[in-house]
Amino acid sequence: MNNTLELLALILIISAIVNTFFAVEVLFKQKGGKGSKGWGILDDFHHLFDRNSVRNFTGIVTKIDYKSPLKGMSSGILVNVKNDAEEMNIWLGPAWFLDHQDEKVTVKEKLEFRGSKITLNEQPVMLASEVHKGSETLHLRDEHGYPTWCGWKKRSASFKF
């Protein structure tokens, strides 16, 4: 009887350890959350946004590409924008989010972008937080760089019903 209980306890302990390892593996595989495909707040790309490098850039859109900014991410929208002094590649966000917006960015439009200028793959780029088109504004990130497409975020301590 004693050996049976000890064997049962050992089986339960081994089962708990295996289940724990499985749960940790699943969590790491889903790092950015269900459906974010590399664009979530826990993913590497989100952490590239630098609040200290935020600036404005105005110019004419010359090219729009659907591509992945980092390996393993789903496609995002990258626009090339030129003005008289400079040319800038600007990441707007995930295609799955932007394709469902009412207003679209098109080639030959003059737009104003606000975002974080960083270096990605040894190239200067901007991670857009806002796009201004006439009197309309597309908000892509808040002042802290939190992406609009991530939806839910922690409630501020001062929020009351």
Has residue 90 been placed in a domain?
yes
Nearest Cα to Cα of residue 72 among 38, 105, 110, 113? 38
pLDDT at 156: 61
Q: What is the pLDDT of residues 79-130, one digit of tens each?
A: 999 999 999 999 999 999 999 999 899 999 999 999 999 999 999 999 999 9
67 and 3 in one domain?
Answer: no
Has residue 57 been placed in a domain?
yes
Average pLDDT, the chain: 85
Q: Is the pLDDT of residue 31 over 60?
A: no
Any long-range contacts for 108-113 (C-beta under 8 Å, 24+ apart)?
A: 108/60, 108/61, 108/62, 109/60, 109/61, 109/133, 110/58, 110/59, 110/60, 111/58, 111/59, 111/61, 111/81, 112/56, 112/57, 112/58, 113/56, 113/57, 113/58, 113/81, 113/88
Q: Which two tokens stand for residue 70?
A: 């980092």
Q: Is the pLDDT of residue 158 over 80?
A: no
pLDDT at 155: 61
85 and 13 in one domain?
Answer: no
- Report the DSSP beta bridge partners of residue 79: 64, 90
What DSSP state is assigned to residue 53?
G
In the chain, how long is the greatest CA-to-CA distance? Answer: 86
Has residue 92 been placed in a domain?
yes
pTM: 0.74
139 and 98 in one domain?
Answer: yes
| For the ranges 14-18, 30-34, 80-84, 144-148, the one whose mean pLDDT is highest | 80-84
pLDDT at 11: 78
Q: Is the pLDDT of residue 30 over 50?
A: no
Element at 26 (helix H, strand E): helix 2-29
Q: For residue 18, what are the domain limits?
A: 1-30
Q: Is the pLDDT of residue 66 over 90?
A: yes
Q: How confident is the model at residue 26 (pLDDT cuts 50, 70, 90)?
A: very low
Burial class (CB in 10 A: 0-12, 13-18, 19+), 69: buried
